[in-house]
Amino acid sequence: MSDLHDLCKIPERPITSKYIDSLNYYLKNGIPATYTIEEAYNFTNNIESEPTTTTTPLHLICTHIPKDLLEEEIKIVTQMVEILFEYGAGWCFTDINNDTPGCILIKRNLKHLPIYQEIVNAGVRAELLLRKVSEFDMEVIEDTDDLDHEAFGQIEENVEIPDLVKEEEEVEQDDIKEPTEKSDTMEKTTSTKNQESAKSIEIDDEPEAPSQNQQSYLNTKLEYKNNALVTKDRKDGVMMSWETEIMKMGSDSLAKGSYIEPSEKDSEINILNIGFGMGIIDTFIQQEQPTNHYICEAHPDVLKKLRDDGWYEKPNVIILEGRWQDELPKLLSQNIFFNGIYYDTFSEHYQDMLELFDLVVGLLKPYGIFSFFNGLGADRIVIYEVYKKLVELDLENYGLCCKFIDVEVPEELFKHESKEDGSIWDDVKRSYWSCPIYYHPEIKFMDF
């Protein structure tokens, strides 16, 4: 454990500007803001292997700040976190419990503190930066092997280091175990709907798995079973009936785009749904009797379902067989515009959504509404909130404004406890939902 770690364990109250001085001192003298207690432990104990858990100074602050912080103390702690971020602290490294600093605050009911928002903002910045960096051929150096660990425990000159950081503490052996990979970005792999959202911190499925890779998904057999659509062999949940209310909200949002003015309905109402799945949203859309109801679907087994269930015979239904990436550009060239567009696919990532936004701006009528199943990062609250902000920012760049409507999610969905009478997630490989609130997006062009 280094002095920096000791400081971040908040050994003394009240929390005053002495903390800021000490923190600045350690960081200026070269202790990385990402220096983990695992790295310090391995160094002290001559362990050469790379630690796999990453308990950073930010984790320690989130774990140790008292719950009864005074106003002044909140300001100091916020400043400490800002300084750590200035020096490159990570917002989504995970500790022994697989918790990010934000997760710790949520578990401790401290989400209301400004430092939680600091963490979310840092997540947004990290994602935007990663996107820029990946546009170029740049290398990000993460390795801290060549750091002077010894010095980290010895920086005690020139600053009046309060008693709070003098105590030598041993890291508990139990604190150092083996969980996840060190990475501070959600990376391009965060999926729109599958079990691997927040992928970079929970590496589970291999890149070629159907949940990760479109081609392998499209080659995988699907089955409709127990109110769900799943991949036959692996039981990835593609669509589940618990989302019915969410689909109803989606259809209701699209219906709002039928009005040119509050009292003037459009003479031709075109709706586009991308991803048929179980046909839940399409059933709601049909009830609104749009002039033209386009359904874009890529998977052969789902297309068979559409055929078996008579969707091809419905007079106002037009089925676009294939991936939206191939089918939507054709609509652009046919000058077809939509009052409502809904997007809910599987095995796609946020990068795909960014590409979709390019098409949506061209296909949406000026008063039309775009919405999507918002499962971005939904297996971890803090990441879900980072995506909420990112989506707003990204859409703003297209002149689109995104309003989120909060929907409470039943506990049985996000508390993944096994129950005697079974859980919603029993028949699927892994749950893709862990948040108590669903943020339903309703997107339209900004008023200028």
Q: Which residues bind ligand SAM (CB under 6 A)?
A: 193, 238-239, 247, 274-281, 296-299, 302, 323-325, 344-346, 348
Pick between residue 242 and residue 398 the one whose CB is nearest to ligand SAM: 242
In whole angstroms, the minimum distance from the beta carbon of 345 to ligand SAM comes to 4
Coil/strand/helix, residue 259 = strand
Pick between residue 100 and residue 345 the one whose CB is nearest to ligand SAM: 345
In whole angstroms, the minimum distance from the beta carbon of 172 to ligand SAM comes to 44
d(CA 266, CA 249): 21
Does a cis peptide bond (omega within 30 degrees of 0) precede residue 14?
yes
In whole angstroms, the minimum distance from the beta carbon of 375 to ligand SAM comes to 9
Distance in Å from the first CA to the final CA of the chain: 55
In whole angstroms, the minimum distance from the beta carbon of 391 to ligand SAM comes to 18
Q: Is 316 exposed, middle or buried (0-12, 13-18, 19+ CB in 10 A)?
A: middle
Pick between residue 98 and residue 226 the one whose CB is nearest to ligand SAM: 226
Pick between residue 304 and residue 403 the one whose CB is nearest to ligand SAM: 304
Q: Is the dihedral of CA 19, 20, 23, 26 positive or negative?
A: negative
* Residue with nearest beta carbon to ligand SAM: 277
In whole angstroms, the minimum distance from the beta carbon of 242 to ligand SAM comes to 11
Q: Where are the beta strands (DSSP E) in 109-248?
A: 222-225, 228-231, 237-240
d(CA 361, CA 354): 11
Nearest 5°: phi and psi at 134? -75, -10
Q: At what angle do helices 114-135 and 57-64 cross, to 10 degrees?
A: 160
d(CA 413, CA 432): 9
In whole angstroms, the minimum distance from the beta carbon of 217 to ligand SAM comes to 7
Pick between residue 34 and residue 197 the one whose CB is nearest to ligand SAM: 197
d(CA 111, CA 36): 23
**Which residue, 372, 389, 387, 375, is CA-closest to 430?**
375
Asked if 320 and 296 count as a contact pair (C-beta separation under 8 A), the reply is: yes
Pick between residue 65 and residue 353 the one whose CB is nearest to ligand SAM: 353
In whole angstroms, the minimum distance from the beta carbon of 268 to ligand SAM comes to 24
Coil/strand/helix, residue 406 = strand
Coil/strand/helix, residue 185 = coil
In whole angstroms, the minimum distance from the beta carbon of 246 to ligand SAM comes to 9
Q: Which is it for strands 264-265 and 259-261: parallel, antiparallel or unpaired? A: antiparallel
In whole angstroms, the minimum distance from the beta carbon of 277 to ligand SAM comes to 2
**Which residue, 65, 153, 142, 74, is CA-closest to 109?**
65
Pick between residue 104 and residue 281 the one whose CB is nearest to ligand SAM: 281
Pick between residue 345 and residue 434 the one whose CB is nearest to ligand SAM: 345
Pick between residue 62 and residue 280 the one whose CB is nearest to ligand SAM: 280
